[in-house]
Structure 1
């Protein structure tokens, strides 16, 4: 067989070139699969790191809120112990407001 440039090709050469192309495509496919797996592992690791950071930040916020609630509870107890009459008046006033707002609905 002859191409435009006058070079002769025989069937054995073409078969060899096809086999070489097949091997190159197989190698390329394996390389691409490896790259894909590597990228998937990188994305998975980044997602896990982000989740861990968010979880840790959430735990810190919960601990802070718990400490603040305990602090406010302690202050309320101390206030009631120091000024029981005032605390009772505030409780009655808050209760009255709740009843008043609830009855308007």
Structure 2
């Protein structure tokens, strides 16, 4: 086996060290480029997420506004129906009162003495009730 001279082994070591240094520099550059790509990709993904959230927020807002408009329409319809029903009830009560008054008036014309006696009796009972209070 031939022995290398110290100069040759120093040269080999220097060459290998230079090659290792170049490899380390290339690896560091590759890692830096990869980190930059990853950072840029993350920024793009983050921007996409922000846009998706903005669209989702807008959709939820529109849905809420639509629900509020629907609830307002339903409330207005219910209010109108309540007013109509109350008006119909008032008209019905007014008609009933007119019918009762008409019937009482006819009764008083047909039997005035009995009507006067009933009115006096009702007045007497009302006076008794009012005194006890």
Interval containing the TM-score (normalised by the shorter chain): 0.7 to 0.9
- Aligned counterpart, 2:74: 46
- 1:17 aligned onto 2:9: no
TM-score under structure 1 length normalisation: 0.86
How far, CA to CA, are the matches of 1:11 and 1:104 in structure 2?
93
Count matched residues: 100
Unmatched segments (≥5 aa) in structure 1: none
1:68-87 matches, cutoff 5 A: 68-87=96-115
Mapped partners of 2:72, 2:85: distance in 1: 20
TM-score normalised by structure 2 residue count: 0.69
Gaps of 5+ in 2: 1-30
Match of 2:127 among 74, 99, 103: 99
List, as ranges, runs of 4+ consecutive aligned residues in structure 1 with deviation greater than 6 Å. none
* Highest RCO, 1 vs 2 (Cα 8 Å, sep ≥ 6): 1
Residue 62 of structure 1 corresponds to 90
Structure holding more helix per residue: 2
User: What is the alpha-carbon root mean square deviation over aligned residues?
Assistant: 1.7
TM-aligned CA deviation for residue 63 of structure 1: 0.4
